[in-house]
Amino acid sequence: MWDFILKDYKEISGCGVSGIINLKGGLIPGDLIIKSIVCQEERGNGLGAGFAGYGIYPDFKDFYALHVMADDKNCLEKFEAFLFQKIKAIYHEPIPTRKVKTIKNPPIFKRYFVKPEIEETLSLEEQENKIIEMVMYINANLKGIYILSSGKNMGVFKGVGFPSEIAEFFRIDEYQAYIWTAHNRFPTNTPGWWGGAHPFSLLDWSIVHNGEISSYGTNKRYLELFGYKCTLLTDTEVVTYLLDLLIRRHKLPIKLACTALAPPFWMEIECLNEEEKNLIEALRVVYGGALLNGPFAIIFAYNGGIVGLTDRSKLRPLVVAKSGDLYYLASEEAAIRTICPNPEIVWHPKAGEPVILEITEGTIPHQKSYK
C-alpha cells in the first residue's frame, strides 16, 4: 500500500470536475458527461471516478432512491433485514453493471426505491430528516454497508477506476438526466476506495470537488453537533452535509450559504455598507464552523439546480459556458468544448462567487429552488 502511494506521490495533477444542466428540464444523454470527464482523464490517477444524474428514475420519481454499496452478500442480507422493517421499499434491484477488465472484485451495488411509511402525517422537511437520520445510522453502524445516495429521481454511481472505466461499469451511457455531474479523482491525502470516490451525496444533494478541505476536522466536529456523521473518509463529505444544514435546514439562500463556505476577506468586508457588513460579519460569526479552508473548486447539484464555486483565492480552476438552455461547468475549457464546440459564451467565474443555475420553475417533479 505505502509503496504504491509513495511511488505515485510526485505525479503532478489535480482532480477534474464536470457538470451539465438543461434549464428547460430536457434530458441529456449520459454519453455527453462521459465525454466531458474523459477529456480530463489526465487530472486523475485511476483511484476514483463517479457520476451523479438527476431525472434518471422517472418511473419511481416519488420514491427516495437508495444507492447501496455492500462489501459482501452477508452484509447486504443484514442490511435488508434492517431496512425492510424500518421502511417500505416499493422496488429493489441490483444496479446494472458491465464487466470491466480493469475493475477487479467490485463491491455489490443495489438500489432501493423507498418511502417513509407514515409519510402522510409528515412534512417534506420531516420526511427528509427521517431519511437522513436513517442514512447516517446505516453508514455509521451497519458493517460493510454504505448508502451512496438517497434522493428522489437521482442517483450516484462511483468507484475506483478511471472515469471511462466507471462509466462503462455502471452503464452511464444508458441513462438520461437533466443535470449531470462527474468527477475524476486524484486522491492526495485520503484513501482511494469505492466509498471515497465523488460525488458525495445525501438526499438530493450531490457534490464533486477538486482540492483539499484543510478545515475538515473543524467542519466535521461542527456537523456532529447537528447529527451528521462523517463515515466516508474523504474531506469532501463535509461539504455535502454543510449544504444540507445551511440551505435545506437553516434555509439560507444559496448565495449566502456559499458566502459562509467561502467568505470575503475582512478587508473586503470593511468596504461594504453598514447593512451588508453586519450581515457578512454575523454570517462569519455564526457559521465559523462551516468555513472551508484550503483550495477548492466544487460543483454541487440538487433536484432543480447546479452550482459552481471556487475558494476565495481561486486556487483551483473552474470554467463555465452557455449554449442555449444548456450550461456547462468544468475544470478545463476543453472538457466543455469536446461536447459543445462553439458555446455562446465561456467565462471564468470570480473567486468565491457562486455560479447558480436553476431549472425553470415548474418543469420537473419535486423541483427544489434555493435562490
Partner 1 sequence: MSVVFNVGKLSYTKVNQIVREKILEGKKAFEIHGVNGHRYLLAGIKEKITVKIWGTVGLDLGCFMSGPEIYVYGNVQDGCGNTMEEGKITVYGMAGDVVGYSMRGGKIFIKGDVGYRVGIHMKSYQDKHPVIVIGGKAGDFLGEYMAGGTIVVLGIYSQHPERPIVGKFLGTGMHGGAIYLRGKIDPFFLGKNLKVSSLNEEDQAYLKKILKEYCADIGEDLGVLLNEKFFKITPMSHRPYGNLYAY
For position 338 contacting partner 1 by CB under 8 A, the verdict is yes
Four-point Cα dihedral 199, 202, 204, 206, nearest 10:
-20
> C-alpha angle with apex 49: 46 to 147, nearest 5 degrees?
130
Window contacting partner 1 (CB under 8 A); options: 48-56, 184-192, 233-241, 343-351: 343-351
Supply angle C-alpha 172, 174, 175, rounded to 5. Answer: 75
98 binds partner 1 (CB under 8 A): no
Nearest residue (CB) to partner 1, 15 versus 56: 15
* DSSP assignment string, 130-157: HHHHHHHHHHHHSTTEEEEE--BTEEEE
Q: Does 309 bind partner 1 (CB under 8 A)?
A: no
Distance CA 294, CA 289 (A): 14
CA 173 to chain centre: 19
* Nine cell digits for residue 19: 457538470
In the complex, what is the shortest distance from the CB of residue 269 to partner 1, in angstroms, rounded to a whole number?
13
Pick from 314, 320, 354, 359 the residue near partner 1 by CB under 8 A: 314
Residues 71-90 that bind partner 1 (CB under 8 A): none
Contact residues for 200 (Cβ-Cβ < 8 A; gap 6+): 156, 206, 207, 209, 232, 234, 236, 237, 239, 240
Question: Judged by CB under 8 A, which stretch of 36-44, 74-82, 182-190, 212-220 contacts partner 1?
Answer: 36-44
User: What minimum distance in Å lies between the beta carbon of 198 and partner 1?
Assistant: 21
Strand order in the sheet with 355-358: 200-202, 205-211, 296-302, 305-310, 355-358
Q: Does 42 bind partner 1 (CB under 8 A)?
A: yes
Cα distances (angstroms) measured from residue 371 to each of 307, 354, 363: 11, 11, 16
Q: Which of 1, 6, 225, 267 binds partner 1 (CB under 8 A)?
A: 267
Note whether 335 binds partner 1 by CB under 8 A: yes
The least distance separating partner 1 from the CB of residue 348, rounded to whole angstroms, comes to: 5
Q: Which of 1, 6, 225, 271 binds partner 1 (CB under 8 A)?
A: 271
Partner residues linked to 50 by β-bridges: 158, 183
- Beta carbon of residue 344, minimum distance to partner 1 (angstroms, whole number): 12
Q: Could you give the angle at which helices 30-38 and 163-170 cross, rounded to 10 degrees?
A: 160
128: its cell numbers: 427528509
Is the Cβ of residue 319 or residue 326 nearer to partner 1 in the bound state?
319
Cα distance between residue 205 and residue 304, in whole Å: 10
- Report which residue type is found at 50: G
Active site residues per annotation: 15
Instruction: Compute the half-sphere exposure of residue 16: CA atoms within 13 Å on the CB side of its CA.
Output: 28
* By the rule CB under 8 A, 39 interacts with partner 1: yes
Q: Out of 313, 324, 365, 371, point to the residue binding partner 1 (CB under 8 A).
A: 313
Q: Which of 100, 346, 363, 366 binds partner 1 (CB under 8 A)?
A: 346
Of 146-154, 167-175, 275-283, 340-348, which segment contacts partner 1 by CB under 8 A?
Answer: 340-348
Among 337, 357, 358, 359, binds partner 1 (CB under 8 A): 337
Task: Give the 3-state secondary structure percentages of the chain, helix then strand then coil, rounded to 5.
Answer: 35, 25, 40
**Piece of the chain touching partner 1 by CB under 8 A; list 119-127, 180-188, 253-261, 341-349:** 341-349
Total site size for partner 1, rule CB under 8 A:
23
Enumerate residues 135-174 that contact partner 1 by CB under 8 A.
none
As a whole number of angstroms, the distance between CA 317 and CA 190 comes to 21
333 binds partner 1 (CB under 8 A): yes
Identify which range of 38-46, 122-130, 178-186, 244-252 contacts partner 1 by CB under 8 A. Answer: 38-46
Q: Which residues bind partner 1 (CB under 8 A)?
A: 39-40, 42, 265, 267-268, 271, 313-314, 317, 319, 332-335, 337-338, 345-348, 350-351
